[in-house]
Structure 1
Amino acid sequence: MEAEFPTVSEIAKHDERPRISGFEDLAFGSLAGMAGKFVEYPFDTVKVRLQTSESQVFSGTLDCLKQTWQNEGFRGFYRGLASPLLGAMAENAVAFYAYNRIQSIIRTATNNTGSELTLPQLFLSGGLSGTICAFVISPVELVKCKLQVENVQAYGGAASTANVKFTGPISVVKHLLKTQGIAGIYKGITPTVARETVGVGCWFGAYEVVVRQLMRSQNKAQKSDLGPGSIILAGGCAGVAYNISSYPIDVVKSFIQTADVRATAGAPERPGIASTIRTVYGRGGIRAFYRGLGITLVRAFPANAAMFMTYEYLSRLSIELRQK
């Protein structure tokens, strides 16, 4: 399989180009995360509501879109955006920074000072960066999921909107600190770590696989020679790979983080992982772990294409300005 990609020696000949600094990794990753979040958030709202609501609430993706629009209008799709927007900026800043720094550590450990890393090493770098990112994104996603799901309880007259207790991210954080302390902010951290380790490893790995294939097919010497169409394709494929690889874990994570919002009489507000898996399975078998995947994949391609395009072209611009 390795023979299908440019060899290490071929790539190494062109590997003396300037690289961006760690600060630029943080800055460009942050802007990339912001761009991607604006694109994906309405789809993410639908995804979380489909993942966590009873099957009789929404008949499917289109019904969820329709009900959200009828009950909350355009703003309903962006409910709770502030927290995940900041989270996406922080997560992607950490992801790109950690990814590149971990690669440097691997190069040092393997005495590889100039050549591109192998694909397994890149997957490992992505996975470890995902583990780090989980501790940044977990509290943000907890707030996001609660805000996205809470309003659904009022749909169809099941409850009054007057019973909605969260007015925004700050009110969620205050409630969690008051009722559960610091531990409440990290509710769902275990499945988040699992999701990010698997997902981000596949995210960066898939991006590198597609990039190397495109370099080979277009006879390009280095990544910066690829045009925007290639970056869009590679970034979009990375997003699809992330979601397909980690989606069942994400369902469990979302379910745990919204348990108290959805709680009915006699239902636990703090379910464990094993009990959550059983509950989700009881709602529809294996299919229940993939409920909402369609809308997720629809938003994954453009959102992640936007992220990688933003990061890649800001990096190229920085290098070009430095060389002048």
Structure 2
Amino acid sequence: MERFDTIKTRIQCSPPGTYRGAVDCLLQTVRNESIFALYKGATPPAVGWAAIDSVLLGSLHNYRLFLIRHHMVEPVPGQPGQQRLSLLGHGIAGLAAGWTSAFIATPVELLKVKLQLQLQKSVQDRQYKGPIDCARQIMRNQGIFGLWTGFTGSLGFRSNFFWMFLSFEALMRSFSKLRGTRYEISTPFANFLSGGLGSFAFWFMAMPADNIKNRMMATPPTEPRPSFVATARSIYSMHGVRGFFRGLAPCILRAFPVNASALFVYEGLMRLLDAEKASPFA
């Protein structure tokens, strides 16, 4: 899926007229830099994504528990005396989890973006020889906090986990209403579908902030660190409203399988852990 992300980043951050669309970006990249160019910037997320998702989903669970303890609950239909976290509570937990994960995600995404935007085929011709060299150059010019360039953009982008987890829960509740009918589906399959469909809500809402975030991160370390508002104004002045949705097509192509699989596994593991806690032999 890193191939789609490289195309998305280049479409978002390249000067106007560089690419006619996602397919043209793909063809130019492969023709000028080889097929392996699609994997530029793959190392930082390969190393850091496990930590980012662990923080995201781990904090999500704890924020849900916190909100339940503070009575952000509603009755469960058909189950007198039972309560569950409200849909708004699921959204707020997703928002808080997104903000929490931004502290780890920002340096990882910063290195990824800078490596993805190097158009040179030969490693010797590139400004950054790899993620470690990239981090060193950033810190040399901007100090340790230079690794958090684009942090406000990352916060804006990750705020949209509000929509991701609110829509996931809303879809799961809709699928649960099919129980006992000819259209009933299993809980794991409902998790899979809800994760994939919920990702569409996430990306449609998050795309403007993703464009701003990546533009902020693409700024050379020798230049002043850009602000969220100034970057948004720059995008609007060059591309208009459509500029905030550049790169949406590659995101939609990868969104369903990636997020459907992730939430299928996460929810399955949570059910397994709950079953072990309830077992008298645990």
TM (norm. structure 1) is: 0.76
How far residue 98 of structure 1 moved from its aligned partner, in angstroms, is: 0.8
2:147 alignment partner in structure 1:
185
2:260 alignment partner in structure 1:
305
The reply on whether 1:210 has 2:171 as its aligned counterpart is yes
Alignment equivalent of 1:254, drawn from 214, 219, 226: 214
Segments of 5+ residues of structure 2 without an aligned counterpart are 74-80
Q: Percent identity between the aligned chains?
A: 29
How far residue 57 of structure 1 moved from its aligned partner, in angstroms, is: 1.6
1:31 alignment partner in structure 2:
none
2:10 alignment partner in structure 1:
49
Q: Which amino acid aligns with 1:184?
A: G
Between Structure 1 and Structure 2, how many residues are aligned? 269
CA–CA separation in structure 2 for the residues paired with 1:225 and 1:245: 29
**Structure with the higher fraction of residues in helix conformation:** 1
Alignment partner of 1:63: what SS?
A: helix
* Range moving further from structure 2, 311-320 or 141-150: 311-320
Cα pair distance change 1:67/1:188, threshold 3 Å: same
2:55 alignment partner in structure 1:
94
Alignment of 1:1-324 (within 5 A): 40-110=1-71, 115-151=83-119, 154=120, 162-197=124-159, 199-219=160-180, 225-228=186-189, 230-260=190-220, 270-319=225-274, 323=279
Q: Which amino acid aligns with 2:60?
A: Y
Alignment check: 8 A CA contact 2:29 2:37 kept: yes
Alignment partner of 1:116: what SS?
A: strand
How far residue 272 of structure 1 moved from its aligned partner, in angstroms, is: 2.4
Q: Which amino acid aligns with 1:208?
A: E
CA–CA separation in structure 1 for the residues paired with 2:275 and 2:28: 48
How far residue 194 of structure 1 moved from its aligned partner, in angstroms, is: 1.7
RMSD between aligned residues: 2.4
Cα pair distance change 1:72/1:320, threshold 3 Å: farther
Segments of 5+ residues of structure 1 without an aligned counterpart are 1-39
How far residue 317 of structure 1 moved from its aligned partner, in angstroms, is: 4.3
CA–CA separation in structure 1 for the residues paired with 2:56 and 2:226: 29
How far residue 312 of structure 1 moved from its aligned partner, in angstroms, is: 2.4
How far residue 59 of structure 1 moved from its aligned partner, in angstroms, is: 1.1
How far residue 204 of structure 1 moved from its aligned partner, in angstroms, is: 1.0
2:77 alignment partner in structure 1:
none
* Range moving further from structure 2, 249-258 or 67-76: 67-76
How far residue 287 of structure 1 moved from its aligned partner, in angstroms, is: 0.7
Give deviations 1:134-182, integer Å, cap 9, x for gaps.
111011100000001122xx48xxxx87541112111111111111101
CA–CA separation in structure 2 for the residues paired with 1:226 and 1:293: 30
Give deviations 1:192-247, integer Å, cap 9, x for gaps.
112112x1111111111111100112349xxx95142x222101112111111111
Alignment partner of 2:191: what SS?
A: helix
CA–CA separation in structure 2 for the residues paired with 1:123 and 1:201: 4
Q: Which amino acid aligns with 1:279?
A: S
TM (norm. structure 2) is: 0.87
Alignment check: 8 A CA contact 2:72 2:85 kept: no
Cα pair distance change 1:161/1:296, threshold 3 Å: same
Cα pair distance change 1:79/1:94, threshold 3 Å: same
